[in-house]
């Protein structure tokens, strides 16, 4: 059981408290310093793909405001900041020499973070493939894995003396299944077999990158970030149980098993037999993909409750099962639990489940929650933003983290998604996930009540009993 709200919980002394962002979602400066278009620039400029026709051209203008944003992080007391490098900013053609002007931006950012005592945590790929590489075939093409490994090695070489934590990929499930399967994300292609090829080449690129970085600096903390879900069948009927197995296979095990065990899950390969014969998997690939890691990053947002097929329509792009290869017809059930502005059900116990499951079923690794958070509609009143629902979401999920630690899970840190409101992919700026509010007109940043509360949590290294630490509405 999660301790009831109002109960104090203390975290381990060296727990890494952070917040996360991603390059395309915050930087802007889309054409500056030699940056070329990524698949998200192209996609967001394609009519009908992103809510409101929004693009990341300006976003939070972090490219010009990074020093002030770092000051804000320091004021919040963050111990670590997880951000991503824009591949097309530092290697505009997707191969060959790095662009020093693009690199300088990240060098300054890293220096500034270190000067403020904030540990930089770099994600190499958070979905912004250089358009040049998509034009050459994108992730369904094997060569892209090699391109990624080259980019990773060069970027690591350029920043590795100051950055200890490196994540290769953020959520390859989204890159592959939403980018090439449902088409809801860039590059917006929908071909099941391509999605599976993309997934494989993403993981291959990850493995090659880990090998290159490990060889260069053996002591670095290297990992990948997977988006994992708690999954339950709606009833205990065999049909619902099979739906849960299938979705768990596609969403969780399809990535966990190759990366941590060096094999694809056999039942999922059977489910996908009509989509692909997996002829793109070559001898030796899985050994590369399962190159040992130092850490595993987990992004957790929600639970899927699923049921046997009845032909019902999916409810949101996120859950576009008809377009995930292998999940045809599975029903995603809404239980009527409280939801966020993304319509994602709030389920903190699911986080305990995911953390314990990964620790129990896979080789033991230090785990980090590299993203967790919620979108809610925010309003500025007298220059302040009160966000009790977001605060309660963080509170309940941090209690879940604590419960997992108490049960023996080696969870070493937590990154709130997100530091500030930003470009929420296909939803543009219509969804706010930030602890810090961004007024996109003026670029003013306003720490919401959840940010002030989080600063208190970090200061105390835990959750207090009452007062400011007590959320107004608990889940
Ligand atoms: C995750 C992404 C992140 C953000 C959150 C809400 O899937 O990694 O960029 O969009 O969802």
CATH, residue 342: 3.20.20.80
User: By residue range, what is the domain housing residue 446?
Assistant: 9-463
Query: Which residue out of 26, 83, 425 has the highest number of ligand 1 atoms within 8 Å of its CB and is therefore the one to mutate?
Result: 425
E-strand stretches of 266-346: 295-299, 303-307, 331-333
Residues with CB under 6 A from ligand 1: 22, 25, 170-171, 174, 227, 299, 371, 417, 424-425, 433
Domain membership flag for residue 144: yes
Q: Is the full-model pTM beyond 0.85? A: yes
What distance in angstroms lies between residue 135's CA and the mean position of ligand 1's atoms? 25
User: Within a domain: residue 474?
Assistant: no
Digit-coded pLDDT (tens) for 365-407? 999 999 999 999 999 999 999 999 999 999 999 999 999 999 9
Our count of domains for the chain comes to: 1
Give domain status of residue 475, yes or no.
no
Could you read off the pLDDT of 65-78 as tens digits, one per residue? 999 999 999 999 99
- Would you state the pLDDT for residue 2? 38
Is 40 marked as binding a ligand? no
254 C-alpha vs ligand 1 centroid, how far in Å?
19
- pLDDT lower than 50: segments of the chain: 1-5, 313-321, 466-475
**Residue 465: its pLDDT value, please?**
65
Question: What pLDDT does 464 receive?
Answer: 83
pLDDT of residue 323: 61
- Per-residue confidence (pLDDT) for residue 160, from 0 to 100: 87
Residue 226 lies in a domain: yes
Q: Is residue 89 part of a domain?
A: yes
Determine which residue's CA is closest to atom 9 belonging to ligand 1: 22
Q: What confidence score (pLDDT) does residue 326 get?
A: 74
- Cβ(55)–Cβ(43) below 8 Å: no
With contact defined as beta carbons under 8 Å apart, do 364 and 341 qualify?
Answer: no
- Picking from 439, 426, 424, the residue whose alpha carbon sits closest to that of residue 379 is 439
25 assigned to a ligand binding site: yes
Identify whether 404 is part of a domain: yes
Positions marked active-site: 171, 371
Give the Å distances, CA to CA, from 412 to 129, 212, 442: 30, 25, 37
305 assigned to some structural domain: yes
Q: What is the pLDDT of residues 283-339, one digit of tens each?
A: 999 999 999 999 999 999 999 999 887 655 444 333 444 566 777 778 888 899 999
* pLDDT of the residue at 7: 66
| Residue 288 phi, psi (nearest 5) | -65, -45
Domain-embedded: residue 381: yes
Helices and strands in the chain, H and E counts: 16, 17
Ligand 1 centroid to Cα of residue 430, in Å, is 14
């Amino acid at each position: 059981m999660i301790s009831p709200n109002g109960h104090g919980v203390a975290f381990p002394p060296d727990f890494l408290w952070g917040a996360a962002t991603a390059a395309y979602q915050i930087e802007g400066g889309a054409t500056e310093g030699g940056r070329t278009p990524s698949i998200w620039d192209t996609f967001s400029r394609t009519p009908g793909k992103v809510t409101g026709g929004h693009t990341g051209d300006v976003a939070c203008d972090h490219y010009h405001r990074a020093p002030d944003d770092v000051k804000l992080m320091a004021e919040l007391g963050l111990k670590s900041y997880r951000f991503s490098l824009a591949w097309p900013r530092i290697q505009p053609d997707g191969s060959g020499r790095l662009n020093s002007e693009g690199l300088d931006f990240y060098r300054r950012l890293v220096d500034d973070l270190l000067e403020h005592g904030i540990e930089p945590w770099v994600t190499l790929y958070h979905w912004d493939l250089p358009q040049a590489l998509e034009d050459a075939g994108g992730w369904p093409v094997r060569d892209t894995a090699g391109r990624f490994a080259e980019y990773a090695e060069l970027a690591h070489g350029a920043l590795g003396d100051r950055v200890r934590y490196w994540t290769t990929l953020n959520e390859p499930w989204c890159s592959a299944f939403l980018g090439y399967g449902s088409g809801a994300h860039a590059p917006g292609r929908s071909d099941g077999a391509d999605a599976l090829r993309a997934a494989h080449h993403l993981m291959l690129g990850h493995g090659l990158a880990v090998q290159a970085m490990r060889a260069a600096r053996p002591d670095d903390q290297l990992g990948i970030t997977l988006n994992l879900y708690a999954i339950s069948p709606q009833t205990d009927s065999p049909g619902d149980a099979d739906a849960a197995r299938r979705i768990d296979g596609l969403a969780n095990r399809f990535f966990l098993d190759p990366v941590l065990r060096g094999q694809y899950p056999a039942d999922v390969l059977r489910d996908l037999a009509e989509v692909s014969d997996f002829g793109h998997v070559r001898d030796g690939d899985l050994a590369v993909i399962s190159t040992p890691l130092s850490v595993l990053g987990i992004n957790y947002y929600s639970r899927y409750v699923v049921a046997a097929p009845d032909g019902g329509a999916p409810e949101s792009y996120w859950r576009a099962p008809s377009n995930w290869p292998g999940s045809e017809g599975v029903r995603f059930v809404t239980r009527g639990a409280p939801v966020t502005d993304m319509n994602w059900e709030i389920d903190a116990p699911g986080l305990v489940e995911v953390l314990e499951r990964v620790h129990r079923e896979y080789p033991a690794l230090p785990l980090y929650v590299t993203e967790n958070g919620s979108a809610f509609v925010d309003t500025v009143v007298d220059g302040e933003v009160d966000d009790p629902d977001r605060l309660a979401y963080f509170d309940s999920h941090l209690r879940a983290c604590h419960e997992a630690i108490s049960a023996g899970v080696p969870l070493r840190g937590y990154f709130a998604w997100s530091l500030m409101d930003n470009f929420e992919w296909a939803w543009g700026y219509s969804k706010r996930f930030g602890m810090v509010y961004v007024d996109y007109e003026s670029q003013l940043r306003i720490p919401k009540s959840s940010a002030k509360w989080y600063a208190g949590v970090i200061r105390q290294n835990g959750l207090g009993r009452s007062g400011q630490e007590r959320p107004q509405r608990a889940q």
